[in-house]
Structure 1
Amino acid sequence: GGWRAAVGDIARPLVAHLRSRDSLDVVGTNTDGVTFAFDSASGVALWSFRGRRPVTPGVPAVIIDSRAGSNDVLVFDGQSAIKIEGRTGRELWRSPLPAPPSSATASSDTSGPIVIIIDNSLRRLLVMNGLSGSLISQTLLPARVIGPPAPIADQSGTLLVAYENGEVELRDKAGRIIRSGSAGSPALT
């Protein structure tokens, strides 16, 4: 059983509800920077998106909630974040970023979806509104970050940031420190 699609290497495929909450689809960006969406049961391509330049393949697509209750997709094109309608593959908005991203993840708070981004210096935290693409906050961090920020499932936009030096911080979506601590040794992954 199963299916194959001739789309190139997709290192980190994601599962999403692009068309409805009742069905699952697969999303991924290949090494050429083209983002594809597939029906997970049949492998039939739903859409593909190629940015003006190749989408940054090092940062995987991010699945974010849409107003319709399904999922949309966020991809990165250099210093731009691009929101793609999950159902159709249509570009909804394009927002400039102060620097290229190194990692990103999605979360939500009471006002809706948010996107949490670490820039390529690994020392700047960006938080974007997932509905409009507007920048909510931009925070310079005290050390280099290891891995993507981890959202906390509390509907307040709280996130956990781990640093190379072993420090760990809990921050709000405005970038303010809520709590901090130390793992006691440098973080490796």
Structure 2
Amino acid sequence: MLKIKRFALCVRGAAACVVACVLAAGCKDLVTRDGPSGASPGGLDLLFKVPVDRADNAFVPATDGQRLYADVNRRIEAFDLSTGARLWSYLRPLGGPSSLVARDGRVFFAGDTAVALDAASGRELWRHVLPSPAGLGESAGDSDAYYVGMKDHRVYALRATDGALLWSRDLGPDWPFGGVVRGMTVSGDTVYAAVEHDTGINGYIGTGDLFALDRRTGAVHWVFRNGDGTRLDIYQSAGRVAGRLLLLTANWENEYIALDRLTGTEVWRAHGEDPYFGMDEAPEVQGDRAYFASQDQYAYALDLATGRRLWRARVASGASNVAPCGSRLLVQDLGLSVVDLGSGRMLGRAYDSSTNESLHTDFVVVGNRAYVFGITHLYGFECPT
């Protein structure tokens, strides 16, 4: 996608009203351009292909390793990881989830209201009405708290057990043009908030401001600013922790940034091709490599320590999400492109518009299995190791 207009955060999703059209264990079909049967692109096995009502309106899939969760047509749904069968459904409040966070037996999400559900049953545990919408970014959580960033550049830490407010922090009280928290990441004693800071009216220019906050108090440890405010150098997703590094995507500029997350200093910066948008999320990490893809129709592997490009693979169209799975890199480019993780060799493609299907969510990976939603089905794949 060329830079014709400003790109809004694309949040990813999952399924609704699942019809149990599940393939029996031990009878795994192979993935092809036409779906099950025939030769397999990239050697993936199709575990299941489950029809889902309004799968085209599914977003933000997540997992705790026990179940798959997603927002489907304003319902938070839980699915079985082995069969794709729907386990429970919860009608969420208006406002849309910022993302789903699943851990410690709870599923958290936030739009106009932050909510915690019991992960096994879908029963509501608590809700907390927010002062500003939180549906424009990714939230995060740990055993103590659920961390939510809002449209008015504020962050809330809500107690995981009952939703009580532990602390709040306004990250831009003196910003004349405002800003939006696009993503939260928690690691150790630090919460990282990636903020789109508008420096001009209507948000036509801005900086990406990354705040490192104390997890227990919200105190600011350091701030890293991307850009000088004369262009649109914004963040539109949460950072990803990789050892001492925090990886970020400056979506508008198709740039990928690695920070020392203890000091807030830049370690390296990588670029996709101009003049295209970057990926909707921070690069994925496996071992000593980072992987990303962008609207420039390429997938990339970088050396994690230096940002040096190791390979570049042409995919079928502009890409939004990637996922290492076994020995493969899965690329969501409105279909499924499968790339060899080590060499970058293109191995195959499936599930695109030529088959009346199109993948449109992020991948969820558990071990060597990957899950993704198309416009009509929920898919589960097994990747070769």
What band does the TM-score fall into relative to the shorter chain?
A: 0.7 to 0.9
Structure 2 counterpart of 1:130: 160
Give the RMSD, CA atoms, in angstroms: 2.3
- Distance in 2, matches of 1:14 and 1:180, equals 29
Contact 2:192/2:210, CA 8 A, preserved across alignment: no
Tell me the residue number matched to 1:116: 147
Residues 160, 97 of structure 1: alpha-carbon distance in 2 compared, 3 angstrom cutoff: closer
Whether the 8 Å CA contact 2:212–2:222 is kept in 1: the answer is yes
Q: 1:180 to 1:89 in 2, by over 3 A?
A: same
Q: Does 1:40 align with 2:81?
A: yes
Whether the 8 Å contact between 1:61 and 1:74 is mirrored in structure 2 is: yes
In structure 2, C-alpha distance between the alignment counterparts of 1:188 and 1:14, rounded to whole Å: 21
Change (3 A) 1:5 1:84: farther
Q: Which amino acid aligns with 2:77?
A: F
Partner of 2:220: 177
| Secondary structure, aligned partner of 1:149 | strand
Q: Which of structures 1 and 2 has the larger relative contact order (alpha carbons within 8 angstroms, sep 6+)?
A: 2
Q: Which ranges of 4 or more aligned residues in structure 1 deviate by more than 4 Å?
A: none
Checking the alignment, whether the CA contact within 8 Å between 1:161 and 1:171 is kept in structure 2 is no
Contact 1:33–1:56 (8 Å) recurs in 2: no
> Distance between the aligned counterparts of 2:118 and 2:53, measured in 1?
20
Q: Aligned pair 1:168/2:207, yes or no?
A: no
User: TM-score scaled to structure 1, two decimals?
Assistant: 0.76
Distance 2:195 2:145 in 1: 19
In 2 relative to 1, CA 163–4 (structure 1 residues): closer, same or farther, beyond 3 Å? same
1:26-55 deviation digits (Å, cap 9, x = unpaired): 11002x31110000110111100013x4x4
AA aligned to 2:224 is: G
Segments of 5+ residues of structure 1 without an aligned counterpart are 18-23
**CA separation in 2, counterparts of 1:113 and 1:60?**
18
Unaligned runs of 5+ in 2: 1-45, 198-206, 237-385
- Cα shift at 1:157: 4.3
Alpha carbons of structure 1 residues 146 and 92: separation in structure 2 relative to 1, 3 Å: closer
Q: Give distance in 1, aligned partners of 2:59 and 2:77.
A: 12
> Conserved in 1, the CA contact under 8 Å of 2:127 and 2:163?
yes
1:61 to 82, 93, 100: 100
1:147 to 161, 169, 182: 182
**Does structure 1 conserve the Cα–Cα contact (< 8 Å) formed by 2:156 and 2:167?**
yes
Q: Which one-letter code corresponds to 1:129 in the other structure?
A: R
Residue 133 of structure 1: how far off its partner (Å): 0.6
Identity of aligned residues (%): 18
Q: In structure 2, do the counterparts of structure 1 residues 82 and 15 end up closer, same or farther at CA, with 3 Å as the change threshold?
A: same
Query: Residue type matched to 2:149 in 1?
Result: I
Displacement of 1:85 in angstroms is: 0.3
Partner secondary structure for residue 108 of structure 2: strand
CA shift for structure 1 position 77: 5.6
Match of 1:107 in 2: 141
Number of the residue aligned with 2:21: none
1:72 aligned onto 2:106: yes
Partner of 2:9: none
The alpha carbon displacement at 1:16 in A equals 2.2
Q: 2 CA distance for matches of 1:188 and 1:82?
A: 25
Residue matched to 2:91: 50
SS in 2 for 1:59: coil
Deviation at 1:82, TM superposition (A): 1.6
